[in-house]
Amino acid sequence: MLITFIRAIFLYIVVLVVMRLMGKREIGQLQPFELAISIMIADLASIPMTETGIPITRGIIPIFGLLIMHLLISFINLKSVKAREIICGKPRILIYRGKIDEKALIKERFTINELEERLRGNSVASVGDVEYAILETSRRLNSYSKAK
């Protein structure tokens, strides 16, 4: 029991260090590749944490491998616009000059109700008040109201 406790603390510290090295982001701002790596790290840490028969290095080595992958993908994202579009996607205009782009909504699998909800979250009372609405790669919606 004590060994499991010590392994859990050690793996927690390893995961914390790796996540810190990956950079500062809120959960809602994670790109898909970052979320996938985070889930995989959690899974890799859980097995040697509870199974004392498995060497702890069987969890630590793949976790650091994922850190290297994350750093490599982040570097590629910084250097290549095309790679960034493939890996992270690109922002999409959902409302253009006051008109909702239905095709863009379909491509993003975004409903009118979700669009309205997000606009209300941005303190916009009506879709008609919006000149532009852009869905960012983090799924955050930025809106720009019409000039009055």
Q: CATH 3.30.240.20 residue ranges in the chain?
A: 91-145
The 10s digit of each residue's pLDDT in 33-89 is: 788 888 898 898 888 888 888 898 888 999 999 899 889 988 998 999 999 888 888
Render the burial of 46-73: b for 16+ CB within 10 Å, e for the rest.
Answer: eebbeeeeeebeebbebbbebbeebeeb
Average pLDDT of the chain to the nearest whole number? 86
pTM as predicted:
0.67
Closest CA to 98 of 133, 58, 71: 133
Superfamily of domain 91-145: bsu07140 like domains (3.30.240.20)
